[in-house]
Structure 1
C-alpha cells in the first residue's frame, strides 16, 4: 500500500503520462492536418484514449510489467497514432484504399482486440494470488552452466559454418539488401530455408550472450566457469555485433536483441529503472525509428526530417492499420478461412507433404491489393479476424492478455532469483511481441519457436521461491539470523561467494 506521499507522486505521474499520450501527442498530430471527421476517426480517438491510457498505467505501475509494455507500445504507436493521421487526411502509405464503411470496420476490429486483451489481463490479474501450476514452474527453471557453455560453442560453430554462406563478415556491415542478395546467390535453397538458416545463425548467438551474462554461480568449479565466461563474453559480443546489428538485420529484431540484453539486467527489474528505460524507448520509437532504415538499401537517400503525421501517412513501416483494412476487404469478398489457423502451429510441415497448406497472410493480402511486392505485414488483429471473425479475434487477444499478465506477475515474484528463465526469456518475448503483433504469423512463428526453445534447453528444473511480503520482512528484521544458504548471484556481481 502506498504511503501518502507515494500516492501523490504516483497520481502525478499517471496524470502527466496520460496528458502527454492521450491529449498532447494526438493534438500535435491533428493540429498539423486538415482533418476530415467521420465515424472511423471518432472511433479511432477512442482507441488512442484506450491504448494511451493503458500505456500510461504501465509506465507508472509499481510493478514492472514488461510484457504489457510491449503490447501497449505497439498498439499506441502503430494502431493508435498512425491510423489517427491516416483517417484524418485519408492518406495511406500503400496504394490500396477502402471505403468509409470498411475503414470503420477495421477500426472496430482494432478496438475489439484491445478490449479483449484488457479483459483477459484484468481477469488474470484478479487470480494473481493463486498458484500457477504450469507457467511458474516453467519460468522458475534455472540456467545450467554446462548447457550454457555448450550453447556458446554451438553458436560459434554455426557462425563459422554459416557466415561464409551469407556473404562473409563484410556483407553484414553493408546493408540488408546486400546481405539478402549475397545469401540468395550463395544458397540454392528456397527463401524459407534461407531465412531459417539466417535465424539459426542469429538466435543462438543472441541467447548464448544473454545466458552467459546471467548464468548463476555454482558452489564448486566457480573459478573455472568464471575464467571461461570472461574469455567467451568478448567473443560473443563481437559475434552479435556482426550477425545481429541493425545494418543487416530488420530493425525490429535488432531492437529485440539490444533491449533484451539491457532489460535482462537485475537493475532494470526495479520499477524506477524500468520506467526510465521504457520512457527512453518511447522517445526512440517516435523520434529515431522512422529514420533508422538508412542502411536498408545499397543506394541511400539523404535523410529528410518530417513531421510525425507525415511519417505515419507515407512511411510503409506504419502500414499495420492499412493492412487491417485490406484484410477486412478480403473477407468481404472471399469469406472467412478457418483452416488458415492451422498454418502457424504446423509451420514445419513442408508444402510437398501438405499441398493445401495455408498461404502466408501478408502475401495473401498483397495479392488481394494488387501489389507487385509481397513482403508485407499482416497484424495479428486481422489475421485472427480472417479465421472466424470477431469470436476468433476475441479469443486470441483474451488469451494473450491473460497469459501476458500472468507472466509479468510471475516475473515479479521471481525477481530476486538470478539465473531463472523468467529473468531472460520474459524481456526477450516482451520485445519480440512487436514482431509477433505486426505479423504475419507464418513469417515469424519459426523464429519464435527457436526463440522460446533455446532457453528451455539450456535450463533445468528450478524451485520457485516467493518474495516475502512486507509483514514477513518486518518480522524477519528483528529475528535471529537465518541459517538458510545465501542465494546464488550472477557471475561477476559483487558480494560474498555462496
Structure 2
C-alpha cells in the first residue's frame, strides 16, 4: 500500500491550537497562582522561588495536555495531580509558612523538597519527550495487549461473580446501610475491632468494589457482534440496573475514599466512545480540572459523623489546612527522615512483593506513609507517601530520576497506543488505560504498599475478561495498526504512473492524523 500524505486540512486538524495553548498557560501559570496568593502575606525565599518554577512547569505541561491533538489520559492524570497537589498547594504553604499537619521543617528542608519535586518532573518530562519522539507506528508489545477486546461470555461470568460476592460480603459487613456510614465511623469501627483483621476487612472491601466496577464498565461497553445478539442485549438490560445498584452501594463516595469514587465515575464517563475523541476529551479534561480545583475541597462533607455547614474559604486556606493536600509536607517529612536514617534500597522490594505475608517475610518493609507519620510523631498513621519521597528514600536523587524517567516514557507510549486504538470500542486501551489514568492520582499520592493491591486487582480484572482481537464489524481482520486500515483488494490502487505522482501525494487517510476523525 503506497504511503499517503495528509492533506492541508488534516494537517491543520492534527496541530495544536496556539491561541488555546497560550490561554491555558496564562490561566494555569499566572492567574490561578495569583488567585491563590491574593491577600496573603507572602514570605519569599529560595524554596518559594523553586516552587514558582514547579508551578510554571506543571501548569505549562497541563496546558499542553489540555490542548494536545492526541488523547493523553495518562498524561492528564499525572499533570493534574502535580499541578494541584505539588504545584498550587505547596505554593500556598511556602508563601504562608502554614501546613496541614503539625510537623514543621526548616527552610533548607523545604528547599530540598521543592528541588526534589522539580527533579522528578524534569525526569518525567525527559522520558515522555524521548518516548514521544521515538514512538513507532505500532508497538509490538503494547498494541497487541491493549487491543484485546472484552468478550461477552467472560463479561457475564464477571457479572455473576461480582453479584455473588455482593450477596455474600454485603450482609457479612452489616448490610447496605453499613456502606453509607461516614468514613470516620468506618475507621473507628475498624480500630475497635481486631487489629489483625484490618487487612482482611480492606481485602473484602476491594474484592467487592473492583469486580463490581469492572462488571458494570464491561457490560456497558462490551462490543456487539456484527449480526447482533438478542440474548446478550436482553441480559444486558436485566443486569445493568442490578449492577448500577450494587455499585451505588459498594462504590459510593460516602464511605469510600473520594479518590476511588472519582476514579470509578471518571472512568465510566471517559471510556465512552464520544470522549475518546480528541476534541471531546479536551473539553472533558478541562471540566475535570475545574471541578478538582473548585469542588473537590468540599467533597469531604460525608467524611465525619457530625457534619458542619459547608463554609466557602479561599484556595490558600484550603491548601494549607486540608490534610488531603499533605503531599508536599509528607515529602519534606521524608527528606528529614532520610537525613537522620539514610536511604534503604531494600525497601523498594516491598511494593512489588506486597502479596508476601509478614509471617513468611518477617523483615518485610513497612508502609512508607506509616513510617513518615511515626517519624513526625503523629497519633494517626493513615497518611500519604508520594512517589517522589518513596523513590528518594530508596536511592536518593538517582532513584527519583530513574523512576520518573521510566514512568514518563511508559505513560507516553501507553497514551500513544490508546490514541491509535481510539476508534475501537471495548478494548483494554479504551477501558483499562482510562481507569489507570485516573487511578494514577492515588498511585502518585501513595503510599505504594497501600495502593499496589487494589492496582493489581484493577488491572488484572480487565485482562481476564478480554480475548485476542478478532474481526472488525465489517468482517475484516483486526488491523495491526488501526490508524492505517488494511487495503481492500478490490479497491487497492495499482501502480501509479509517473505523471500522476503529484495527484497521489494529496490523497490521504483521515485516520493518519491526530484529529481528522473527530
Query: 2:112 maps to which residue?
Result: 105
Contact 1:167 1:182 (8 Å CA) reproduced: no
Kindly state the Cα deviation for residue 6 of structure 1 after the two structures are TM-superposed: 6.0
Q: 1:132 aligns with which of 98, 122, 139?
A: 139
Contact 2:158 2:215 (8 Å CA) reproduced: yes
Query: 2:347 maps to which residue?
Result: 340
Contact 2:14 2:69 (8 Å CA) reproduced: no
CA–CA separation in structure 2 for the residues paired with 1:132 and 1:439:
30
Kindly state the Cα deviation for residue 358 of structure 1 after the two structures are TM-superposed: 0.3
Name the SS of the counterpart of 2:17 in structure 1.
Answer: helix
CA–CA separation in structure 2 for the residues paired with 1:289 and 1:461:
39
Contact 1:171 1:182 (8 Å CA) reproduced: no
- Distance change in 2, residues 1:314/1:442 (3 Å): same
Contact 1:252 1:434 (8 Å CA) reproduced: yes
- Distance change in 2, residues 1:332/1:378 (3 Å): same
Q: 1:145 aligns with which of 123, 142, 152?
A: 152
Q: TM-score, normalised by structure 1?
A: 0.92
Q: 1:455 aligns with which of 462, 485, 493?
A: 462
CA–CA separation in structure 2 for the residues paired with 1:435 and 1:464:
34
CA–CA separation in structure 2 for the residues paired with 1:220 and 1:200:
35
CA–CA separation in structure 2 for the residues paired with 1:371 and 1:187:
22
Alignment of 1:426-465 (within 5 A): 426-462=433-469, 463-465=478-480
Structure 1 alignment gaps of length 5 or more: 480-498
Query: 1:296 maps to which residue?
Result: 303
Are 2:182 and 1:175 aligned?
yes
CA–CA separation in structure 2 for the residues paired with 1:324 and 1:167:
38
Query: 2:481 maps to which residue?
Result: 466
Kindly state the Cα deviation for residue 391 of structure 1 after the two structures are TM-superposed: 1.0
CA RMSD, Structure 1 to Structure 2 (Å): 2.3
- Cα displacement string for residues 112-164 of structure 1 (whole angstroms, at most 9, x for unaligned residues): 11011111111111121253222111101111111100000000000011112
Query: 1:114 maps to which residue?
Result: 121
Pairs aligned (count): 478
Name the SS of the counterpart of 1:194 in structure 2.
Answer: helix
- Cα displacement string for residues 343-388 of structure 1 (whole angstroms, at most 9, x for unaligned residues): 0000011111111000100000000000000000000000011000
Structure 2 alignment gaps of length 5 or more: 1-5, 470-477, 495-518
Query: 2:41 maps to which residue?
Result: 34
Contact 1:93 1:319 (8 Å CA) reproduced: yes
After alignment, is 319-328 or 457-466 more displaced?
Answer: 457-466
CA–CA separation in structure 2 for the residues paired with 1:161 and 1:247:
21
Are 2:98 and 1:83 aligned?
no
Query: 1:313 maps to which residue?
Result: 320
CA–CA separation in structure 1 for the residues paired with 2:429 and 2:456:
17
CA–CA separation in structure 2 for the residues paired with 1:321 and 1:430:
21
CA–CA separation in structure 1 for the residues paired with 2:25 and 2:71:
18
- Cα displacement string for residues 295-343 of structure 1 (whole angstroms, at most 9, x for unaligned residues): 0111112211100011011111100000000000000000001010000
Name the SS of the counterpart of 1:444 in structure 2.
Answer: helix
Q: TM-score, normalised by structure 2?
A: 0.88
- Cα displacement string for residues 251-294 of structure 1 (whole angstroms, at most 9, x for unaligned residues): 00000000000000000011111111111111111111011011
Are 2:266 and 1:251 aligned?
no
Q: 1:391 aligns with which of 398, 403, 412?
A: 398
Query: 1:405 maps to which residue?
Result: 412
CA–CA separation in structure 2 for the residues paired with 1:59 and 1:448:
26
CA–CA separation in structure 2 for the residues paired with 1:188 and 1:368:
21
Kindly state the Cα deviation for residue 189 of structure 1 after the two structures are TM-superposed: 4.9
CA–CA separation in structure 2 for the residues paired with 1:477 and 1:415:
25
Kindly state the Cα deviation for residue 190 of structure 1 after the two structures are TM-superposed: 2.1
- Distance change in 2, residues 1:8/1:348 (3 Å): closer
Q: 1:191 aligns with which of 195, 198, 205?
A: 198
- Cα displacement string for residues 163-222 of structure 1 (whole angstroms, at most 9, x for unaligned residues): 122221012223123344556778785212211110000000000000011111235771
Contact 2:113 2:335 (8 Å CA) reproduced: yes
CA–CA separation in structure 2 for the residues paired with 1:219 and 1:27:
55
Query: 2:515 maps to which residue?
Result: none
